[in-house]
Amino acid sequence: MNATQNLKNDHVIIKRIKNISQTCSNKLYANQFIPITDIEILSVIMEEFVDNFHHGKEEKAYFPETKDKDGFAEDIRKFLIEHELGRRIAMMLRRELEQWKKKTEKENNHESNGPYGSVNEPVARFLKAYAVFLDDHIGKEDKFFDMVEQKDSITNSENETLLKYYESCKTQAGGEVRIQEMVRLIEYLEAREWMKV
């Protein structure tokens, strides 16, 4: 497999994460109950799979290797800014989740507002913002990757080097076992009742 295709394959998984985030947001806005623990799992997937693992490969390996080629620098500069945006949304989501949890625990102690607390608008908003970010970012990168492949911009030896770098990125993101665990968690969320229409 080549280094560009490897990232495109990640994007197929990331699109599933986008769908979960979008559905989760829609259901929260529609006042449907979703366990906070499910949203926490989604937040871990965003942090570990999207950010540490996938953006790690792009930022530490693929982009540094391609940024001086064929006028790619401007595209890559924008992608890096978008990664920062994604990180910020994920961070704000985590913060709101924490607050929501604390509030829910308090409410449960006082038995005031039912067992699950009220709808959390900021959580719904950041989940939606994350889905929009992923959709936009992945779409642009896929076009960019198509262009890299069309121009045949990466040599065989560069490709080998990139694949080696990817391996060390995987190790930094917790290794093969942890990445497989992330994919299992995505499957778990996809099978949840609230994911069904």
Interaction site with Fe ion (CB under 5 A): 58, 141
Cβ 85 to Fe ion shortest distance, Å: 11
Nearer to Fe ion, 48 or 141 (CB): 141
Instruction: Label residue 38 exposed, middle or buried (CB < 10 Å: 0-12, 13-18, 19+).
Output: middle
Nearer to Fe ion, 61 or 97 (CB): 61
Which residue's beta carbon is nearest to the bound Fe ion?
Answer: 141
Cβ 180 to Fe ion shortest distance, Å: 19
Listed residue (152, 149, 140, 184) closest to 6, CA to CA? 149
Nearer to Fe ion, 50 or 97 (CB): 50
Backbone angles phi, psi at 2, to 5 degrees: -95, 165
Cβ 61 to Fe ion shortest distance, Å: 12
Nearer to Fe ion, 87 or 178 (CB): 87
Contact between residue 65 and residue 74 where contact means Cβ atoms under 8 Å apart: no
Residue type, 41: I
CB count within 10 Å of CB 181 equals: 16
As a whole number of Å, the end-to-end CA separation of the chain is: 36
DSSP track, 109-123: HHT-STTT----HHH
Cβ 11 to Fe ion shortest distance, Å: 6
Cβ 72 to Fe ion shortest distance, Å: 13
Nearer to Fe ion, 6 or 104 (CB): 6
